[in-house]
């Protein structure tokens, strides 16, 4: 690249709030619009004017702060199940209760982003199929078409506050005098009038099953499955949270069956008291014990490095030597922690002029999640972070699965 080839760069605006219809639509339409800084080597950068150097460095910082969402073997399994369930339910014509999906996993493992990406892609296809019009709109009405609704579970969830959180997504007026049956009826009307096919409830494991209000809230959530939407629940360690304690596992289908909701008839849509079925899928972290697991980790690191814009980064900077194991030890294979460490490392590499990532540079950086916004530590939304001050003599021995031991070793076997 020549010195005059810097790309025009506009600072990103504020992050859209996906908890509102306008914010969700803005995020969906712009989620792939960020243009990363062009790749440039150190010699070309030195030829830039001081102003262009500053702008290019700012663009590089923005690039490292907005690394693309990479597909992993774990996210592919979530995508297959979620896509199949959503599309199957959206095409159903009979008034049967739609099976839901629970996406479980640890904090910072990409559950929310993976689900949002899958559902946003579904919305893109659904809108194109119907020319961006609501096929179920009432005659004479032009309600906004919202195939997907994204809602965060309130930290102290109650049935009323959960209904209000859903109605806030649609910017539906809510009166303080509305009782719970009226709120549930309004939720059903909003889902129907906006043509919503998927209702996402994030951070569902903020519910504590020892609290009566939270038990009532979970019971209410099961009632939403009668509203002809695919209910997608996202949470940390759902099997261990108590949300499934009233359910039974069907080994033949792999689904969890939960009892019908006590709220099933309030909104007037439920014809019979039927069980609620959920597919449970785990979005796990990377592992580093077998050859396929190591290969998957290395492939992910290759994808990460392709998005970096350091001026003196060697080829395969993240995938050669002991770096792959070091990065695994620092992050425990959690993609969100890896992204945080790489982002902070790139900023330090630019600030110091090193322009490459090394174990020594990363060893001086700590991953601090103590002030993570919108995260509830009590619900397991912040994972344990491996320390970076481990004594070299106590580090785990290097995995030698891929080592080439040479012809002498081969002949001795």
Same domain, 258 and 383: no
Contact (Cβ atoms closer than 8 angstroms) between residue 333 and residue 289: no
pLDDT of 328 over the 80 cut? yes
Q: With respect to residue 278, please indicate whether it lies within any of the assigned structural domains.
A: yes
Q: Are residues 330 and 222 in the same domain?
A: no
Identify the CA nearest to 207 among candidates 378, 386, 22: 378
Task: Tell me: do 51 and 185 sit in the same domain.
Answer: no
d(CA 83, CA 86): 5
DSSP notation for 216-282: HHHHHHHHGGGGSSEEEEEEESHHHHTTTTT-EE-TTT-EEEEPPPTTTTTTS---S---EEEEEEE
313 and 369 inside one domain: yes
Residue 183 lies in a domain: yes
Asked whether residue 3 is domain-assigned, the answer is no
pLDDT at 140 over 90: no
- Rg value, the chain, Cα: 24
> In terms of domains, do 54 and 202 share one?
no
pLDDT, one tens digit per residue, over 27-56 is 999 999 899 999 999 999 999 999 999 999
What is the domain range of residue 340? 21-71+288-393
Residue 399 lies in a domain: no
Name residues whose C-beta falls within 8 Å of residue 364's C-beta, 6 or more positions apart in sequence: 348, 388
Q: Establish if 78 belongs to a structural domain.
A: yes
- Output the domain CATH number for residue 246: 3.40.50.300
Determine the Cα–Cα distance for residues 92 and 115; give it in Å rounded to an integer: 21
**Domain-embedded: residue 118:** yes
The verdict on 221 and 322 lying in the same domain is no
Q: Which of 282, 314, 345 is the last residue of a domain?
A: 282
pLDDT digits (tens, 9 = 90+) for 53-67: 999 999 999 999 999
> What domain count does the chain have?
2
184 and 53, same domain (yes or no): no
Query: Which among 282, 298, 324 is the end of a domain?
Result: 282
Shared-domain flag, residues 62 and 79: no
**pLDDT score for 210:** 77
Other C-beta atoms closer than 10 Å to the C-beta of 300 total 22
Q: Which residue has the higher pLDDT, 141 or 303?
A: 303
Q: What is the β-pairing status of strands 148-152 and 198-202?
A: parallel
Q: Across all residues in the chain, what is the average pLDDT?
A: 85
Question: Is the residue at 404 inside a domain?
Answer: no
Residues 233 and 109 in one domain: yes
Token pair 């102290």: residue: 156
Residues 87 and 105 in one domain: yes
Contact 396, 371 (CB under 8 A): no
Chain segment 205-257, per-residue pLDDT in tens? 988 877 888 888 888 888 888 888 999 999 999 998 888 888 888 888 889 88
Domain shared by 139 and 178, yes or no: yes
Q: Which residues are bridge partners to 232 per DSSP?
A: 101, 200
pTM for the predicted model, two decimal places: 0.85
């Amino acid at each position: 690249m020549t010195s005059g080839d810097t790309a025009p760069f506009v600072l990103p605006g504020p992050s859209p709030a996906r908890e509102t219809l306008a914010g969700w639509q803005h995020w969906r339409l712009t989620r792939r619009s960020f243009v990363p800084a062009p790749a440039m080597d150190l010699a070309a950068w030195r030829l830039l004017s001081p102003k262009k150097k500053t702008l290019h460095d700012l663009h590089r910082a923005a690039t490292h702060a907005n690394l693309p969402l990479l597909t992993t073997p774990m996210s592919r399994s979530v995508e297959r199940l979620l896509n199949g369930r959503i599309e199957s339910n959206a095409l159903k014509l009979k008034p049967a209760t739609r099976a839901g999906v629970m996406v479980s996993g640890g904090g910072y493992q990409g559950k929310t982003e993976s689900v949002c990406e899958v559902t946003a892609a579904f919305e893109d296809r659904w809108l194109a199929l119907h020319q961006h019009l609501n096929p179920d709109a009432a005659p004479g009405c032009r309600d906004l078409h919202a195939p997907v609704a994204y809602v965060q579970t309130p930290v102290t969830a109650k049935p009323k506050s959960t209904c209000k959180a859903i109605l806030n997504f649609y910017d539906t007026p809510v009166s303080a005098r509305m009782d719970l049956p009226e709120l549930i009826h309004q939720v059903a009307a909003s889902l129907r009038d906006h043509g919503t096919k998927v209702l996402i409830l994030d951070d569902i494991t903020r519910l504590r099953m020892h609290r009566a209000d939270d038990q009532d809230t979970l019971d209410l959530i099961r009632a939403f499955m009668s509203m002809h939407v695919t209910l997608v629940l996202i949470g940390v360690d759902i099997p261990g949270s108590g949300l499934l304690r009233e359910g039974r596992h069907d080994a033949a289908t792999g689904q969890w069956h939960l009892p019908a909701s006590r709220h099933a008839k309030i909104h007037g849509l439920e014809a019979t008291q039927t069980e609620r079925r959920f597919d449970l899928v785990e979005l796990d972290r990377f592992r580093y014990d077998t050859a396929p697991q190591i290969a998957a980790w290395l492939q992910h690191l290759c994808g990460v490095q392709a998005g970096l814009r350091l001026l003196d980064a060697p080829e395969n900077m993240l995938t050669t030597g002991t770096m792959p194991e070091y990065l695994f030890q620092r992050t425990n294979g959690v993609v969100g922690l890896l992204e945080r460490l790489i982002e902070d490392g790139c900023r330090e590499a630019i600030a110091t002029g090193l322009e490459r990532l090394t174990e020594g540079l990363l060893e001086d950086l700590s991953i601090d999640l103590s002030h993570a916004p919108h995260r509830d530590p009590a619900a397991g939304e912040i994972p344990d972070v491996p320390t970076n001050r481990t004594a070299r003599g106590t580090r785990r021995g290097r995995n030698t699965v891929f080592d080439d031991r040479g012809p002498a070793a081969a002949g001795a076997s």
